[in-house]
Homo-oligomer: A and B are copies of this chain.
Amino acid sequence: MKKQFEEKTISRKPVFKGHVIEVEVQEVELPNGNHSQRELVHHNGAVAIVAFTPDNELVLVRQYRKALEKAIAEIPAGKLEPGEDPLESAKRELAEETGITAKKWSKLISFYTSPGFANELVHIFLAEELVQGEAYPDDDEFVTRLDVSLDEAQSMIINEDIHDAKTAYAVQYMAIKQGEE
């Protein structure tokens, strides 16, 4: 099933090679024999962390996103380095951005963010049994932490202060988990 309707690559033209993304245009052959073009963004993938405080609040960080020209509140996250283990990356990102370490880690899900044009895969982990320490963001990283209840998180979705896919997913996870208790 995974190769159903496969599009065969006829030719590929690299158009941009940056530090975060690479872009290429491929000419492909469709299942009916026609040709089409695909604009494709390559990305190393990312990790994101769902962590709840002892008061059952979701840990968020607010940061400016140049692509959106606004600051939004997101669950802690970061890009994977080439070859980096996603769990190790998640531990590092959580500690850097929030100072939190966790004794128990589990994988919640991984998903592609934009399968129509990009191969960015986000791995989402649940961090439990948290220990609070000092944050140590990179010199050029500007984030502020905020912890929010489920009600607050749902208001922030309406206000578009939470406005990205992984954090929307995390808020639903919080709703399901608190509904079970």
When A4-B62, A163-B110, A164-B112 are in contact, do A67 and B117 touch as well, CB less than 8 Å?
yes
- Write the A131-146 contact mask toward B (1 if CB under 8 angstroms, else 0): 0000000011011100
The count of chain A contact residues (Cβ–Cβ below 8 Å) is 75
Segment at the interface with B among A33-41, A84-92, A95-103: A33-41
Identical chains in the assembly: 2
Residue of B nearest to A46 (CB): B116
Residues in chain A within 8 A of chain B (CB atoms): 1-7, 15-16, 18-21, 23, 25-26, 28, 30-32, 34, 36-41, 43, 46, 62-68, 70-72, 74, 77, 79, 109-120, 122, 139-140, 142-144, 157, 160-161, 163-169, 172-173, 175-176, 179
